[in-house]
Structures are given as C-alpha cells and as structure tokens.
Amino acid sequence: MSEYNVSQCRTPVFFDRFERKDENQHQTHYCPGCGHGVAHKLIAEALGELGLQDRTVMVSPVGCSVFAYYYFDTGNVQAAHGRAPAVATAVKRSNPGSIVISYQGDGDLAAIGTAEIVHAANRGENITVFFVNNSIYGMTGGQMAPTTLIGQTSTTSPWGRRPNNEGFPIKMAEMLSALEAPVYIERVALSDAKHIMQARRAVKKALQLQKEGAGFTMVEILSPCPTILKMEPTVARHWVADTLIKQFPLGVYRDRKPEFEPVLVPQKGVAELLGISGKRLSDEERHARRQHTRAKTIKVSGFGGQGILLLGQLIAEMGMREHMEVSWLPSYGPEMRSGSAHCDVTLSHDRVGTPLVSTPDVLVAMNEPSLRKFAPHVRPGGVILYNSRQLPEDLKFEGLTVACVPASEIADQIGSAKVSNVVMMGALLEATDCLPFTTAQAVLSGLVKNRKLAEMNEKALEAGRNYLDTEVLVGAVAGPDGCGE
Ligand SMILES: Cc1ncc(C[n+]2csc(CCOP(=O)(O)OP(=O)(O)O)c2C)c(N)n1
C-alpha cells in the first residue's frame, strides 16, 4: 500500500499555487481540454505514489509544456527544442540516484529532436520519456508535425498532408521498439476515462522501472489539442478515440528486461582519468588549500589554433588538482583554425552554478578582436591580459588591471609559437595569484612527452611570469582580492 492516496488529497508533487502566473494561480496555462494538463496530473500522481518527488528532475522542452516547471515541485531543467533526451542523459549520468523525466511534444521529439531520442533510446539511458503526441505543433499555431495524419490540414499543409509530398506519419513507439536497448514502450490515449486509467498505469510503470534501474522507458500519450484542431474539447477527445488511435494503435510495444546492465555510475571519475586523487578533503585540509588558491571566473579568447581551449583546460585541471570546483566551457567559431575561439573557466571554492562566464574576473585576449569583444564585459576591478606590447590607441580601461604581454613574440623567441598560451598562463598566475605556480609546472610536465617541447613549456611559463613581474601594468591596479571571491 502506498502511504499517499490520490483519491483523498491533491498531489503534493504540484505546487499549491503556480506563483509565476500573474492571473489565476490555481489554473495551468493550458487551453481547456488540452491533454498536457491530464498528462501532468498522471505523472505528478505517479511520482507521489512512488515516493520519488524529492529526487525527480523534470526536463521540459520548448512547446506548450514549456512551463512545466511552473507546476512540478521537483527539480526542473529547461532544455532547448528537441534536446531533452540529451540533457536528461547528462542529468541522470551525473546523478544516477535521480529520477529523470524527459517530457516532449511530437514536434519536439519526432522532428527537431529525432536524433536525440533515437540515440538516448539506443544507449538504453535509464530515463523515462513522456511523449505527448497531439498530431500537430501546438504552441506555434498548428504547423505540420511528423505525426500529422494523412489528409490532416495544418498551417504548413493547408491542402492536407499528402504522403508523396510530406511523407507518412512517423510512429515513434514502433520505431524505437525496433532498437535493442529500450525496456518498456507503450502507447496510450487520453480519450476517455477508461483510456486515461490505462495511461495512468503506464506512466506509473515506466517510473517504477526507472526506479528499479531497468533502463530506457517511454510512454507515448495520444492527446487532444482542441484549440489548434479547432474542435470543442469533447469533440477533440472523440477525435483522439476515433481517428488518432487508428493511425497510432495503442498497446505495449516493448516490455522486457534488458540483456545488459544499464549505465548507472560512471566507470571512472574525471579526477581518476586525469590521475588526480579524487579523495574528499577534511574541512581543515580544504581551508589550508584555500590559502593557495583564489576563486576566479576567466574568459580565454583568441583565434582557433592559438591554444585557447587548451589553456582553459589546463587552468581547469590545475584547479582540480587544488581541489577546487571547476568548469570549462568551450565555444568555437565557424571554423576551428583561424576562426574565433573562446572558452569560459570557473575556479571556485563552492559548487559552480553555471559554466557560463558572461562578466569575467579575468580576460585573456590573445588577439585584438577578442579584446574589443570581451573587454567591455570584464567585471570592475578585473584583470585583462592582452597578447601585445601595447593596447590599441583608442582603447582605455578604467577600474581594471590591464597587462600587455607579447606572448606570441616571447614564444617565438623561446622557439615555437605553440607555447604562447603557456606564456599567458605564467602571466595569468602572476597577475591573479589564483593557483600555485608549482601546480602549473606539474600539469605542464604531464602534458607532453616530447622533451624539447616540455622544456619550451617550462621556459614559457617562467617567461610569462617574469614578464609581468618586471613590466608596468596599465590602468588601475586592483587590491589583492579585487576580483574573484
Ligand atoms: C530549434 C527550434 N526550432 C523551432 C522553435 C519554435 N518552436 C517553439 S514551440 C514549437 C512547436 C512545439 O510543438 P510540439 O513539440 O508538438 O509541442 P506542443 O506545443 O504541440 O505541445 C516550435 C516549432 C524553437 N523554439 N526552437
């Protein structure tokens, strides 16, 4: 017997009030007769009954269900259109104890995110997908979906869908059950009370299987969309029963145990892969380490080929070695070599909320376009390291520490333009004191096997540090904790 009984109380998995709504905070934003509200209720009730609320993360996409996070008192992540299974994969793999739901419409899952759903299912990710098939793009006003029926009109097939022009309706439940990995796939319909009760059982079963760690589960939910189909709510429900079900037969398409163990925990942590001790530090040890490190957000920018992304990675790795919380987020220009490239790095003493760095404490600009692009966003009191002997004449920075370090020139003198990023690393450590110099030496010594290059790296690191030591900084000099912490 479950402790929680739906027939006696409203599910606590929904918020009591939908605070983000301006108007009536007890109503959803869904149109009268929309299937999303019913689907939400079934999911919320199943989570409550299975006692999963506190460890559930709901990944909601773009589409009418875009506001699912208004309603579900669970963890919520908003994913870009079609990408929910990929986001759900990341959430589940990084936190295997969580219950992860990918909630998707048919435009989302069967058109824009076709690749993501197929591969998540094929990998047997231990997530549950609720696929709301209402045969149309609802939110954007009724464009044709991959599930639109033959002859059905939509704003993009006003003549009615013709198979020889727009293809056939895609049957996702059938398609995905052709794969080896999925353990449970069922199609249900929100057409009448009897079918809704069947949907209720399917939703709960899928979540139960995820709780047991069984593997990939999906429930396709045929759902009415009265507004876009221009039908009365009751007529839309009949339409689901009489018409939609004919094209998309209900039933269990897959229900079997997987022949392999689904991925539950990563085989090795990142620290282990890098050969770094993953051991948790005591509070005192942590405190002692903090004396040698400073929290910083850093943007490294320049041309592809200048070692921009590698420099960011190395800084992040150094932070890991110092037991800091780190993130590294690369961003590529349209082409790799000589296109623009930048990456964001966060070194923190606390958990990192977002890997995005929009207002960095430190900007490393390896070329002029990056300097012009990112310098205006550097936080007051921040540091700019610019790869040149001097700033462009028209640029002035107030309230920032600016150091011009001709890293490419220094690297050429050392013997290879390749090490200009390491010169900048030396300058960065000197300017910000964010990480111990010895840690940089340790990371670099493990980086290359080639003895000559290793020596050049050592020299480059030292040269960057010494250059900054001796050269005059331009602009205001921040105090020891002028930025960061
Ligand atoms: C990459 C991308 N393409 C298109 C859109 C525009 N868009 C937003 S919602 C939507 C339709 C969603 O339809 P569906 O997934 O069927 O969900 P429904 O609204 O019917 O529940 C579209 C095309 C977008 N936001 N992002």
372 and 462, same domain (yes or no): yes
114 and 178, same domain (yes or no): yes
Q: Ligand 1 center to residue 419 CA distance, Å?
A: 46
Total number of domains in the chain: 2
Left, alpha or beta for 230 (phi > 0: left; psi -120 to 50: alpha)? Answer: left
CATH number at residue 250: 3.40.50.970
344 and 466, same domain (yes or no): yes
Task: Kindly write down the DSSP assignment for every residue of 297-358, as one continuous string.
Answer: EEEEEEETTSSHHHHHHHHHHHHHHTT-EEEEEEEE-SSSSSSEEEEEEEEESS--S-S--S
* pLDDT computed for residue 333 by the predictor: 61
* pLDDT computed for residue 375 by the predictor: 96
* pLDDT computed for residue 1 by the predictor: 40
290 and 236, same domain (yes or no): no
Q: Ligand 1 center to residue 61 CA distance, Å?
A: 8
Mutate which of 66, 108, 114, 172 for ligand 1? The one with the most ligand atoms within 8 Å of its CB, which is 108
Helix/strand/coil percentages in the chain, nearest 5: 40, 20, 45
81 within ligand 1 shell (Cβ under 6 A): yes
290 and 215, same domain (yes or no): no
Closest-CA residue, ligand 1 atom 21, reads 64
Q: Ligand 1 center to residue 144 CA distance, Å?
A: 11
In whole angstroms, give the CA distance from residue 173 to residue 117.
11
Left, alpha or beta for 33 (phi > 0: left; psi -120 to 50: alpha)? Answer: left
Of the three residues 210, 240, 255, the one that is the final residue of a domain is 255
Residues of the chain below pLDDT 50? 1-2, 335-336, 475-485
Q: Is 26 within the bounds of a domain?
A: no
390 and 248, same domain (yes or no): no
* pLDDT computed for residue 337 by the predictor: 53
Closest-CA residue, ligand 1 atom 10, reads 63
* Residue 183 contacts residue 254 (beta carbons within 8 Å): yes
* pLDDT computed for residue 278 by the predictor: 64
CATH number at residue 466: 3.40.920.10
Range of the domain at 433: 285-470
Q: Ligand 1 center to residue 273 CA distance, Å?
A: 39
Q: Is 83 within the bounds of a domain?
A: yes
262 within ligand 1 shell (Cβ under 6 A): no
R_g of the chain computed on alpha carbons: 28
Give the atom of ligand 1 at the shortest distance from the alpha carbon of 62: 9
135 within ligand 1 shell (Cβ under 6 A): no
Give the atom of ligand 1 at the shortest distance from the alpha carbon of 64: 19
* pLDDT computed for residue 331 by the predictor: 86
pTM of the complete model: 0.71
* Residue 455 contacts residue 445 (beta carbons within 8 Å): no
200 and 294, same domain (yes or no): no
Closest-CA residue, ligand 1 atom 1, reads 81
